[in-house]
């Protein structure tokens, strides 16, 4: 691979892992560079994703693995400004829902398969079980991540918007989602503002997340090393330090920290999923 | 982009969509070619994924979006032949678990975050809710798909092995998975046997999966067009035709078609997840 790609990939690895980063060397390639490049894009310039680009992004999504070819993915493209405004409100007033060139809502969709099975005289029982709902959510997530990589390969930035689940019933109403469908998250796609300081964010060392044959909890030293690296990142970004106190605790301590998502079980039931 | 990449991408699009395929033109790039290239790889040649390649595959996984930087992904690398043999049995006797160069088990892992929060004196309540389990499964799936794309960019093939959930309690025992972790699926990675006839599989037309602002069920014509294309594919592959009758019905009609996965709710509870 060219020296440039190798160098860029190595810089990305160094930002993710610090001094213990893997060395890419000859294994570097342009796709690895796209995969490692990812950072959150919350501020967009007013550039337009073309229809052809959007079709390729969707084609990439549909090319992901899908359990038994069930193709559980549906995606709603939101280009009506009024729908964008409402979705932005429902997602806690997030400006990026308005500013992105493309805003997608990813749907775990059992309805097509159920319709086909019924039309051909088959009974429907497996869909009442938790695993069936999970399979469809896994499926749409494989697709959505392919879409993210496709968009990033075209020079755009993306952000997942899980906060759509804060007010999921209103999202279902707004998009007229039928029984046996479930909106999992939104995705903003647009041209990132280069003045946005968000950079490649440090992640846990591989010694924390990778296990061999059996699970081994991370050492205290490995966790401390990470907390030092992520807090240094926040300080350099002029963001509040202390990831545990200022971020983790606020999302884990109380059910109210779920901002409405503590009720999604009821929504699954209303949409047809018994989650037995 | 070079004419070669454009031509290869267009051939891939034509295989996915038939005569109504999008036209890539100038938007083609090497990453889109990797994303569209995906096909199931079930037969592997005895080639070895190097340690550097595996580190880059994991680095790609860790570079995916992660909800609030929670980094729910853990991955168990299975290189002990006895553990491989047992996992193959637990996944319904799948040979590819044995033959792949690398076999990974992807874990939705809340344990690190809970440990950190508790060690810093915070209460834990949000994790009792369904949304918290889903967030972690979405997170690990974004990571796993990045790993898949990284492996495919390096010339390998991959297959997700959801059948690990058929006997999930035995998998948890075998890998010593602690409370607040959940094995979601396996992944085989290896050099695909070029004599394997598996090709790029047709998918629904974009007019079936893409909706504008509100959800619209697909037309009968669009569904029929797809069933014709997928059944032609199976015929050409000398596989049983009729996707609805021979595949869909067998996975949807009865709870027994879940092959043990109808019990995963109990496993979630045993692992600490109340799924309220």
CB atoms B177 and A215 under 8 Å: yes
Write the residue in B75, B112, B262 that is nearest to A218 by C-beta.
B112
- Check: CB of residue B105 under 8 Å from CB of residue B147: no
pLDDT-above-90 percentage for chain B: 89
Q: How many domains does chain A have?
A: 1
Answer whether A142 touches B (CB < 8 Å): yes
CA distance A149 to A274: 33
Low-confidence residues of chain A, pLDDT below 50? none
pLDDT at B178: 98
Query: What three-state secondary structure class fits A66?
Result: coil
Residue B193 banded pLDDT, cuts 50, 70, 90: very high
Give the best residue of A213, A226, A227, A268 to mutate against chain B (max B CB count within 10 A): A213
CB atoms A65 and B177 under 8 Å: no
Residue A73 within a domain: yes
For B234-270, letters b (16+ CB in 10 Å) and e give beeeeeeeebbeebbbebbbebeebbbbbbbbebbee
- Closest residue of chain A to B202, computed from CA coordinates: A63
Residue A166 within a domain: yes
Write the residue in B130, B217, B255 that is nearest to A125 by C-beta.
B255
Residue B82 within a domain: yes
pLDDT at B243: 86
Residue B96 within a domain: yes
Residue A142 within a domain: yes
Distance (Å) of CA A70 to CA A46, A112, B124: 37, 9, 36
Chain A 50-89, CB below 8 Å of chain B: which residues? 50, 52-53, 55-56, 58-60, 62-65, 67-71, 73-80, 83
pLDDT at A1: 62
Write the residue in A131, A177, A213 that is nearest to B258 by C-beta.
A131
Answer whether B224 touches A (CB < 8 Å): no
CB atoms A255 and B129 under 8 Å: yes
- Closest residue of chain B to A174, computed from CA coordinates: B214
Residue B79 banded pLDDT, cuts 50, 70, 90: very high
CA distance A96 to A2: 36
Write the residue in A126, A158, A212 that is nearest to B254 by C-beta.
A126
Residue B16 within a domain: no
pLDDT at B222: 97
pLDDT at A250: 86
How far from each other are the two terminal CA atoms of chain B, in whole angstroms? 50
- Closest residue of chain B to A260, computed from CA coordinates: B131
CB atoms A64 and B145 under 8 Å: yes
> pLDDT tens across B33-42, in order?
999 999 999 9
Give the best residue of B53, B110, B145, B192 to mutate against chain A (max A CB count within 10 A): B145
B256 alpha carbon, distance to own chain's centre: 22
Residue B220 within a domain: no
* Minimum distance, in Å, between the CA of residue B11 and any CA atom of chain A: 13
CB atoms B203 and A62 under 8 Å: yes
Write the residue in B22, B150, B175 that is nearest to A56 by C-beta.
B22
Domain CATH number, residue B156: 3.40.109.10
Give the best residue of A25, A145, A187 to mutate against chain B (max B CB count within 10 A): A145
- Closest residue of chain B to A41, computed from CA coordinates: B65
User: What is the residue range of A174's domain?
Assistant: 41-198+260-270
Query: What three-state secondary structure class fits A108?
Result: strand
Residues in chain B within 8 Å Cβ distance of A179: none
Answer whether A237 touches B (CB < 8 Å): no
Burial, A224: exposed, middle or buried (Cβ in 10 Å; 0-12, 13-18, 19+)?
exposed
Write the residue in B138, B214, B247 that is nearest to A176 by C-beta.
B214
Residues in chain A within 8 Å Cβ distance of B65: 38, 40, 145, 148, 158-160
Residue B2 banded pLDDT, cuts 50, 70, 90: confident
Structure tokens of B170? 């035995």
Q: Which residues pair with A62 in a beta bridge?
A: none
Residue B1 banded pLDDT, cuts 50, 70, 90: low
- DSSP class of residue A237? T
pLDDT at A245: 87
pLDDT at B98: 97
Residue B201, pLDDT > 70, answer yes
Residue A266 within a domain: yes
Answer whether A40 touches B (CB < 8 Å): yes
Q: How many CA atoms lie within 13 A of B81 on its CB side?
A: 1
Structure tokens of A52? 């052809």
> pLDDT tens across A143-159, in order?
999 999 999 999 999 99
Mean pLDDT across chain B: 95
DSSP annotation string for A176-230: T--TTEEEEEEEEEEEE-TT----PPP---HHHHEEESB--PPPHHHHHHHHHHH
Please tell me the least confidently modeled range out of A17-21, B49-53, B103-107, B240-244: B240-244
- Check: CB of residue A154 under 8 Å from CB of residue A191: no
Query: What three-state secondary structure class fits A38?
Result: coil
pLDDT at A240: 85
CB atoms A214 and B176 under 8 Å: yes
Write the residue in B32, B142, B262 that is nearest to A150 by C-beta.
B32
Residues in chain A within 8 Å Cβ distance of B213: 76-80, 83, 175
CB atoms B142 and A146 under 8 Å: no
Residue B275 banded pLDDT, cuts 50, 70, 90: very high
- Check: CB of residue B131 under 8 Å from CB of residue A165: yes
């Amino acid at each position: 691979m060219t020296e440039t790609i190798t160098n860029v990939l190595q810089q990305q690895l160094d930002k993710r892992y610090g001094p213990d980063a893997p060395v890419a060397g000859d294994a570097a390639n342009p796709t690895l560079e796209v995969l490692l490049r990812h950072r959150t894009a919350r501020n967009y310039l007013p550039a337009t994703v073309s229809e052809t680009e959007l079709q390729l992004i969707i084609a990439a999504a549909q090319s992901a693995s899908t359990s038994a070819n069930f193709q559980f993915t549906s995606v709603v493209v939101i280009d009506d400004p009024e729908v964008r405004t409402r979705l932005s409100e429902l997602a806690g007033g997030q400006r990026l829902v308005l500013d992105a060139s493309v805003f997608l809502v990813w749907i775990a969709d059992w309805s097509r398969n159920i319709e086909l099975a019924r039309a051909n005289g088959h009974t429907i029982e497996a869909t009442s079980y938790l695993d069936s709902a999970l399979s469809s959510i896994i499926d749409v997530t494989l697709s959505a991540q392919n879409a993210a990589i496709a968009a990033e390969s075209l020079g755009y930035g993306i952000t997942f918007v899980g906060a759509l689940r804060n007010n999921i019933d209103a999202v279902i109403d707004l998009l007229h989602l039928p029984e046996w469908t479930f909106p999992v998250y939104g995705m903003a796609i647009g041209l990132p503002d280069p003045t946005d300081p968000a950079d490649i964010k440090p992640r846990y060392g591989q010694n924390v997340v990778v296990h061999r044959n059996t699970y081994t909890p991370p050492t205290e030293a490995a966790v401390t090393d990470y907390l030092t690296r992520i807090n240094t990142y926040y300080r350099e970004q002029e963001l509040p330090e202390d990831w545990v106190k200022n971020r983790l605790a606020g999302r884990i301590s109380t059910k109210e920290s779920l901002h409405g998502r503590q009720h999604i079980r009821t929504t699954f039931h209303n949409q047809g999923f018994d989650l037995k």
